[in-house]
A = this chain, B = another copy of it.
Amino acid sequence: MKTQKPPVISVRKRPLQARSTQLVADILEAAVRVLASDGARHFTTARVAEKAGVSVGSLYQYFPNKEAILFRLQADEWQETRELLERILADSTRPQFERLRGAVQAFFLTEWQESEFRVALDDATPLYRDTPEAHENWKACTRCVLVFMNEALPQAPVEDRAFAADMVMTVMSAVGERISEQARSESEVKAMAVAIGEMFCAYLEGIKYRR
């Protein structure tokens, strides 16, 4: 909202793929901009509509309420996160643990790049927390990690793998969020990613042969 460091973010070019209408795309785009520039506190439907060059009425034609916009934004984030995790964790051309380290790195980096927006979105969490869809999104990501665990720790008990997936997701997303809140330098973020990647690997190594 103030201070905070803002390196890459800009207009968040995010694909906005085949959105049914340009209007929805415009609204989401505007929402991102409002969030990043005005902060969660001043994220109002009026501002979004105005920045989108749309009337409030139109906005409400596509989103049942303010929260829905935020949730959609968040859902898109999770979607991207899931894709990122999938892409990296399932890449069988790389050694398993390297993939995990890479995933953490990549995740932290995107968090850091979009920090302004991410922070604002996190600030808005109270507005959409605990929706069933939110749980779904979280679980989808966790499932991704679980698939990786199944491959990486084939001999570990199934509960251990589930726990590891949950723990990795929790730590990664919590720290990622924290990192976008603090105005850190890129190298700091990288170092943090490396450290956390190492910790994950050490942890997995430890349970690899547990039974």
Contacts and interface: CB of A to CB of B under 8 A. Distances in A.
Interface of A: 1-4, 39-41, 123, 125-127, 129-130, 134-135, 138-139, 163-164, 167, 170-171, 173-175, 177-179, 181-182, 191-192, 195-196, 198-200, 202-203, 206
Given A174-B174, A178-B174, A192-B167, A126 B202 contact: no
Given A138-B1, A199-B200, A39 B170 contact: no
B170 A130 contact: no
Nearest to A175: B174
A126 B206 contact: no
Given A195-B167, A195-B203, A202-B202, A130 B174 contact: no
Contacts of A40: 126
A2 B130 contact: yes
Given A1-B138, A200-B199, A129 B181 contact: yes
Q: Indicate the member of A125, A127, A206 with the most B CB atoms within 10 Å.
A: A125
A136 B123 CA distance: 22
A104 B126 CA distance: 26
A1 B178 contact: no
A167 B177 CA distance: 14
Nearest to A171: B175
12 contacts: A4-B130, A40-B126, A41-B126, A41-B127, A129-B181, A170-B178, A174-B177, A174-B178, A195-B203, A198-B203, A199-B200, A202-B203
Given A170-B192, A175-B170, A191-B163, A1 B139 contact: yes
Contacts of A192: 167, 170
Given A170-B182, A199-B199, 17 more contacts: A1-B129, A1-B135, A1-B138, A4-B130, A123-B125, A163-B191, A167-B192, A167-B195, A167-B196, A170-B192, A171-B171, A171-B175, A171-B196, A174-B175, A198-B203, A199-B200, A202-B203
Contacts of A175: 170-171, 174-175
